[in-house]
Amino acid sequence: MKKDTPSYVNFNAEKYKWKPDIDYSKHPELYRVGKGEQGVLICEPYKSEIGPYWRFKNEEVALESSEKIFALFLDYVKENDFVGADLARKYLQMGFTRSRRYFNYKGGKKYDALNNYELLERGSGDPEKAKSANVFYKKWQAAEELPEYKKMKSGWKEKYG
């Protein structure tokens, strides 16, 4: 198996763009889009607004969760709150990626921390999580493709990077 150290090993919080002590609704100019799901579990108050609905235990739970988060996404877009919309989109993306991880790896653990972070066996996970991943994927893509969101995102990147 390929040896690949996970990104959380030797994590440098000082250099991380997102900070837990910032209220991003009051200081949206400090938010950065970033890659993938970065910042999703840090940015308040959005973490507290969206996070409680994020669940992917099975297809039924994922459907309820993704619909609620997508509704929040649409509310943020309607309110012209790009930070909230982007973080809701990231929660949808994270629903997909975490479901896939739990499908691919038993217990969702990709690396063996006790064995120099060796990659664990793929294909040992929960088949139900593939259904959850599919549910989240559809909502994530719907969010990504919403014209109003795309316009907000490009404007944000032009203005703030």
Higher-scoring residue by pLDDT: 141, 33: 141
Beta bridge partners of 112: 118
Higher pLDDT, 19 or 135: 135
What digits encode the pLDDT tens for the residues 51-99? 999 999 999 999 999 999 999 999 999 999 999 999 999 999 999 999 9
Residue 55, class by beta-carbon neighbours within 10 Å (0-12 exposed, 13-18 middle, 19+ buried)?
Answer: middle
Helix, strand, or coil here: 105?
A: coil
Residues with Cβ within 8 Å of residue 88, at least 6 apart in sequence? 46, 50, 69, 70, 72, 73, 76, 143
Bridge partners of residue 3, in order along the sequence: 118
Can you spell out the DSSP letters for 36-101? TTTTTTT-BTHHHHHGGG---SSHHHHHHHHHHHHHHHHHHHHTT-HHHHHHHHHHHHHHHHHHHH
Contact between 108 and 125 (Cβ < 8 Å): yes
Query: Cis (ω within 30 of 0) for the bond into 45?
Result: yes
* 149 neighbors 89 (Cβ within 8 angstroms): yes
- The predicted pLDDT at position 39 comes to 86
Q: Domain segments of the chain: what residues?
A: 28-160
The whole-number average pLDDT for the span 94-119 is 84
pTM above 0.95, yes or no: no
What is the reported pLDDT for 1? 44
